[in-house]
Amino acid sequence: MSEIEGEFSNVLPAAGESTPEILLFQKYELGKLLGYGAFAKVYHARNVRTGQSVAIKAVSKKNILKGGFTAHVKREISIMRRLHHPHIVRLFEVLATKTKIYFVMEFAKGGELFAKVAKGRFSEDLSRRYFQQLISAVGYCHSHGVYHRDLKPENLLLDENWDLKVTDFGLSAVTDQVRPDGLLHTLCGTPAYVAPEILAKKGYDGAKVDVWSCGVILFVLNAGYLPFNDRNLMVMYKKIYKGEFRCPKWTSPDLKRFISRLLDTNPETRITVDQMTEDPWFRKGYEPIKFHSDDFEFKIHDEDEKFLNAFDIISFSSGVDLSGLFSESDFSLRGERFVSEESPDGITEKMEQFGKREELTVTKKKDWGVKLEGQNGHFVAMVEIYRLTEKLVVVEIKRRESEVGPSTEIWKDKLMPQLNALIYEPVTGD
């Protein structure tokens, strides 16, 4: 990583300015500012190798730590890495310098859906088309244990074909955040789109609050204004809690009935995503999206084997170790990685045998991992194996940096030769 890459954050372009002379990681040519939020700015960029347009979200590490957003950003990375759907903005890779983290994402040329509906309401057919695309994406998220929790037109983008793309998963929740009562308890979301059960502060079902937000979005697309709105926030909340809204006169009876099922203040009786696909209004012209994600995630053939998906492979690239993105100080362990044809069990066994020969303390870790300790704590090495393909694995070694001494000799003269013997050497033609 060059020094320029670590410092160029001070000269990022202002809104509307183009800066073709600035290259991020010698790969992305930065363009104009597309938008900004509380602690991030999004720029248009071009991959100089392929010519592909991308959006790059630049996040300041300092602001993340200062504002307590570490979990927020980690969660967004974790969530976006697992989602691959035609109507969800795709995350290509995550890059980092000393001062910033960069999300390299799919570029939605059409901009925000909000900008389009702000110019005037949509026809019922167009509203239905976008709502069907939205529900396809939301249903997919829910099936993968992800609940967006901040769905609104500003977080819905349009691509060059004017198809919808859901973005901004920073407030999303995942299944492991659900408490023992089966509910989420974090207060979040945008006031006008928030579900009544969130206001009640008694816990809520993430899927059901997303459905409510989708109902508000559908109302806005058809009406051109919000169903619940008031200058006084508490008055607006009371309207939401009571479900007080009125559809405009041009709304068809079928759409009125459908919206009332979406904006049902009782989450227990509110329509579900599965039930929507059976509704007459929703089903008109609806074609379920069929797609394959094999190019994004390797299939798991054995529950006991841990495979890497495409995002993990990207993360193993030079300079993209996410483990250190959020640390205020440097890690005491240095990481080394290589690809091997040896089986995970075979590598684990070799490391155990090595540890016993050198009289080291050997600790087996979950899945495929071995920790080696010795020399009164001066020698510490962790070896972890990840399945890459049916025949290849990635071996990651983390070791504690040490001064010259016996621990360095164990590493250089004894462990390194064993590891080097495991490195995969691809056969290439003449």
Look at residue 155 and tell me whether its pLDDT is greater than 80.
Answer: yes
Look at residue 398 and tell me whether its pLDDT is greater than 60.
Answer: yes
Distance CA 341, CA 385 (A): 11
Distance CA 309, CA 298 (A): 6
Mean pLDDT of 61-83: 71
Q: 31-50: per-residue pLDDT in tens?
A: 998 877 666 788 999 999 99
pLDDT at 426: 52
Which pLDDT band, with edges at 50, 70 and 90, does 199 fall under?
Answer: confident
Q: Is 102 helix (H, G, I), strand (E, B) or coil?
A: strand
CA-closest candidate to residue 57, choices 26, 91, 25: 91
pLDDT at 225: 92
Q: Comparing 79 with 9, which gets the higher pLDDT?
A: 79
CB 5 within 8 A of CB 97: yes
Look at residue 93 and tell me whether its pLDDT is greater than 90.
Answer: no
The CATH architecture annotation of domain 3-106 reads 2-Layer Sandwich (3.30)
Annotation: CATH topology of 332-420: TATA-Binding Protein (3.30.310)
Which pLDDT band, with edges at 50, 70 and 90, does 238 fall under?
Answer: confident
Which pLDDT band, with edges at 50, 70 and 90, does 67 fall under?
Answer: low
CA-closest candidate to residue 210, choices 228, 184, 181, 249: 184
CB 93 within 8 A of CB 152: no
pLDDT at 44: 93
3-106 matches 332-420 in fold: no
Which residues is 148 bridged to in the sheet? Answer: none
Q: Which two tokens mark 149?
A: 């929790």
Q: 279-306: per-residue pLDDT in tens?
A: 999 999 888 776 544 333 322 233 334 4
CA distances from 281 to 136, 164, 243, 284 (A): 15, 19, 21, 6
The CATH architecture annotation of domain 111-283 reads Orthogonal Bundle (1.10)
Look at residue 8 and tell me whether its pLDDT is greater than 90.
Answer: no
Q: Which residue has the tokens 């239905």?
A: 128
Q: Which two tokens mark 48?
A: 């100089």
CA-closest candidate to residue 90, choices 53, 35, 142: 53
pLDDT at 305: 40
DSSP H or E stretch at residue 347: helix 344-357
pLDDT at 165: 92
Q: Comparing 271 with 67, which gets the higher pLDDT?
A: 271
pLDDT at 132: 96
Q: Comparing 263 with 399, which gets the higher pLDDT?
A: 263
Bridge pairing between strands 28-36 and 53-60? unpaired
- Cβ-count burial of 268 within 10 angstroms (0-12 exposed, 13-18 middle, 19+ buried)? exposed
Q: 335-379: per-residue pLDDT in tens?
A: 567 778 888 888 989 989 998 988 889 888 767 888 888 877 778
Residue/partner pairs of 366-374 with CB below 8 Å, 24 or more apart:
367/306, 368/306, 368/344, 374/407, 374/410
Q: Which residue has the tokens 């080696």?
A: 372
Instruction: Please give the positions annotated as active site.
Output: 150
CA-closest candidate to residue 42, choices 97, 106, 86, 133: 106
Q: Which segment of 72-81, 98-107, 171-180 scores lowest on mean pLDDT?
A: 171-180
Q: Comparing 37 with 129, which gets the higher pLDDT?
A: 129
pLDDT at 266: 92
pLDDT at 336: 67
Residue ranges of domains in the chain: 3-106, 111-283, 332-420
Q: 133-151: per-residue pLDDT in tens?
A: 999 999 988 887 788 778 8
Q: How many CA atoms lie within 13 A of 310 on its CB side?
A: 14
